Amino acid sequence: MFGLKSTVERSAERLIEEKLYEQVALELQEGKKRAGIWAKALANSNGSEDKAQSLYIQYHVQALKDEMILDNELNKQFTPPKKDTQQKQYKTEEERTKDIIVQNTKEYEHLIAKKKTPQKQYTTVETITIAQEEKNFTILAFIIFAVIVIVLFKATAS
């Protein structure tokens, strides 16, 4: 009702989020970083390596959540509907909770298995270069936006 989530759904989401943070922590221990996310974290950290690390973890977890959502949507679109359209009936809320957690854990494990492909590791210099290019692009976009606003303002003032 009104898009509100049940306690069970919120609990399941928190458990999945914990697993995602764990995955990111393990990747960091192995020295693996996703270059695009790291570049964004560096660009938003004002040069602070500690802040960049913190932002990287947040951005990476959010990216994993987004990938799970997109993967789930694609699976819905390309998976034929089940013949048994009856919803499973649960005797207790606890039984329903366990089933949701099991389903979400299976989905999470499936996504983790797909992510085992190696990613290119960038040096600090390459990462800083990528972050600087992203920052330069943002500045350029802002300048173009400002020019358009000025032109439109002058055109409406005339």
Contact call for residues 24 and 64 (beta carbons, < 8 A): yes
Report if residue 18 sits inside a domain: yes
Segment among 91-100, 109-118, 121-130, 132-141 with least mean pLDDT: 109-118
Report if residue 12 sits inside a domain: yes
Report if residue 1 sits inside a domain: no
Distance CA 70, CA 78 (A): 12
Report if residue 85 sits inside a domain: no
Six token digits for residue 29: 């221990």
Contact call for residues 44 and 25 (beta carbons, < 8 A): no
Report if residue 32 sits inside a domain: yes
Q: In terms of pTM, does the model score above 0.85?
A: no
Is the pLDDT reported for residue 52 higher than 80?
Answer: yes
Give the pLDDT score at 1. Answer: 42
Give the pLDDT score at 58. Answer: 94
Which DSSP category does 109 fall into?
Answer: H
Q: How many domains does the chain have?
A: 1
Average the pLDDT over 104-128 and give the result: 64
Report if residue 33 sits inside a domain: yes
Mean pLDDT (the chain, rounded): 77
Give the pLDDT score at 150. Answer: 76
Average the pLDDT over 90-117 and give the result: 70
Distance CA 138, CA 146 (A): 12
* Nearest of 119, 109, 10, 99 to residue 68 by alpha carbon: 109
Distance CA 20, CA 14 (A): 10
Residue 124 lies in domain = 7-80+91-157
Is the pLDDT reported for residue 153 higher than 80?
Answer: no
Is the pLDDT reported for residue 106 higher than 60?
Answer: yes
Is the pLDDT reported for residue 34 higher than 50?
Answer: yes
Report if residue 22 sits inside a domain: yes
Report if residue 86 sits inside a domain: no
Please report which residue ranges of the chain form alpha helices under DSSP H: 7-29, 35-43, 49-78, 93-114, 124-157
Helices 35-43 and 124-157 pack at an angle, to 10 degrees, of 60
